[in-house]
Amino acid sequence: MNKQMLAVMQRRGELLARIAVQREQVAATALRWQTPLALADKGLAVVRFLRSNPVLVAGVLAVAVLRRRGMTGMLAVGWRAWRLYQSARAFSAKVAVQTRH
């Protein structure tokens, strides 16, 4: 074999060894992140479920409010929620107009 081919083969061996080390490092990092990412994934699943079932969420909140404050408390919380919704809607419309320009 000529010297150039021998150098290429030697370089290939070095690169393959380096790749093996990097592969082990990635595997160790992935193992460390597996539990936190699984927890985050479950959290996202809960959020998606709650967003897709707003009536259920409202019902649970209504029951919680009724148990703590009675009907007056439920009306007060409902009024505040309605005002917050209106404010958020107005703010998002204002931001949308500003971003278009």
- Give DSSP secondary structure letters for 39-69: HHHHHHHHHHHHHH-HHHHHHHHHHHHHHHH
The pLDDT-based confidence of 12 (bands split at 50, 70, 90) is: very high
Rounded Cα distance between 95 and 74, Å, is 31
Q: How confident is the model at residue 29 (pLDDT cuts 50, 70, 90)?
A: very high
pLDDT at 86 over 90: no
The tokens describing 74, both together, are 């439920």
Q: What is the token pair recorded at 6? A: 């021998």
Instruction: Indicate whether 83 pLDDT > 70.
Output: yes
Token pair, residue 92, equals 């998002």
Question: Measuring CA to CA, which residue among 80, 47, 48 is closest to residue 65?
Answer: 80
pLDDT over 70 (residue 101): no
